[in-house]
Structure 1
Amino acid sequence: MDNVLLKYMEKRFESKIIEPKEKSFCEGPIVTISRECGCTAINIANSLAAKLSVKTKKRWTVLTKEILEQSAKELNLDPAKIEYVFNSKEKTTWDEILAALSSKYYQSDRKIKKTIAEVVRSFACKGNCVIIGRGGVVLTKEIEKSFHIKLQAPLEWRATQLQKIYNLSMEEMLQYAEEIDQKREVLRNYFNKEPLPNTVFDVIYNSKNLAEEDIVNSCLALIEKKGVLGKQIVMG
């Protein structure tokens, strides 16, 4: 038992944080969408991918659950076994020790997050994709041809949107939205090593005040102006 614990503790603290690459070898183009809980991103992502496919004459794909599924495949695990990484705070050291001793299929938090990072970067390097969440903005911000979107809105408005889905009380939805926001921030901060500033995003939209179609059309114009799809247009 002592040897098992010793080996585990040594591996556990070898390297907790993923070291980012100094310069990305990926060119893109890619788009990431980060969102506060209650701000729907899937419709915007699908519409944007469709319009980009027409404009570039290349097929753009939307990635979210695919990242989870591919990461699980790489780890030879059921996706449900690693989904907690996206939905909860990091396990404590003793939680991990108990899990390691109780399951032959155990994979550490660090290894799971490292695999997720590799999968996101792998998808991004192929280009022509819109990545929703999954720490995408942090893991791809060094890619030259990239565009990073954030969707936000007042908490009360977001809770009202969530009520339409879950049919729960406003108080429950307010608490739920805040908890999910915190959990998503934990993952982004893990990959970034520190709190992620809003300056990493190219554009931030208020989902309460703007229609999804307007957001998509605005993004499309800005993506072109930034030069993500080709020659950069100087904005003045």
Structure 2
Amino acid sequence: MEEVEMDNILLKYMGNRFQPKIVDPRKGMFRGGPVVTISRECGCTAINIANRMAEKLTLKTGNRWTCLTKEILEHSAKELNLAPEKIEYVFNSPEKTAWDDIFAALSSKYYQSDRKIKKTISDVIRGFASRGNCIIIGRGGVVLSQNIQRSFHMKLHAPIAWRAAQLQEIYKLSTKEMVDYAMEIDKKREILRNYFNKEPLSNTVFDVIYNAKNLSEEMIADASIHLMELKGVLGKQMVMR
């Protein structure tokens, strides 16, 4: 009798633990969402657009939408029992080699491998995406939520000169310094996305790509919500021809 009860407890635990990862065999997609991911080139601000969308989607759907950036780090760090700043470097550095892992492990008894950190981050992001009603900014979210049925993926880009000018307003450095900085950050973000994707990421994974130079934040937010409705992320899906 005790053995049967233990089996039931384990089944219940496993069901709850992995519930967001139930697969719909008809489409090979994971149930969950709705979720929005925003990828961006350095110098294209996403947080204001995300906040506008969250407010509008909360009113439209009656469910509270949240924007996720630093929260992903905080949840991942909690899972690893580390401070958030201890794992933030994985977003800002090239992938380590096996030898890098070995030397780091020897130098610190608190060492956590890049792979373990990235695996935890991916699990956290997939968990948020599966539960839905969230907007994930960067962090490889576009890759990690591709199999969520009700998902919408957008990207912000703009000419490098325009992006450098936006960065100059913040950092007060020269145009060349800002161009170099933007290109460096773009490369680091690409490395992370490619790591999660296992190969170079194509722009075809995005539902829409906006030119942030020519479109206001309000325009991008409203257009995205309209496209989400047409795609069926928020309700009935339009028949595509």
Given the alignment, which residue of 171, 182, 186 partners 1:177? 182
Given the alignment, which residue of 87, 93, 101 partners 2:92? 87
How is 1:1-16 mapped onto 2 (pairs within 5 angstroms)? none
Per-residue CA deviation, residues 84-125 of structure 1 (Å, 9 max, x unaligned), is 111111123332212101212111011011000000001111
Asked if 1:207 is matched to 2:212, the reply is yes
The RMSD of aligned alpha carbons is 1.4
Q: Which residue of 2 aligns with 1:228?
A: 233
Per-residue CA deviation, residues 114-153 of structure 1 (Å, 9 max, x unaligned), is 0000000011111000000000000001111000000000
Asked if 1:63 is matched to 2:63, the reply is no
Distance 2:61 2:198 in 1: 35
- Runs of 5+ in structure 1 lacking a partner? 1-20
Q: Which residue of 2 aligns with 1:219?
A: 224
Q: Percent identity?
A: 71
TM-score by length of 2: 0.87
Cα drift, residue 24 of structure 1? 4.4
- Runs of 5+ in structure 2 lacking a partner? 1-22
Asked if 1:25 is matched to 2:30, the reply is yes
Contact 1:28/1:124, CA 8 A, preserved across alignment: yes
How is 1:53-202 mapped onto 2 (pairs within 5 angstroms)? 53-202=58-207
Distance 2:70 2:96 in 1: 22
Cα drift, residue 234 of structure 1? 2.6
Partner of 1:32: helix, strand, or coil?
A: strand
Contact 2:33/2:150, CA 8 A, preserved across alignment: yes
Distance 1:163 1:171 in 2: 10
TM-score by length of 1: 0.89
Distance 2:32 2:79 in 1: 24
Contact 2:30/2:149, CA 8 A, preserved across alignment: no
Distance 2:60 2:189 in 1: 32
Distance 1:143 1:187 in 2: 20
Cα drift, residue 26 of structure 1? 3.0
- What amino acid does structure 2 have at the position aligned with 1:196? L
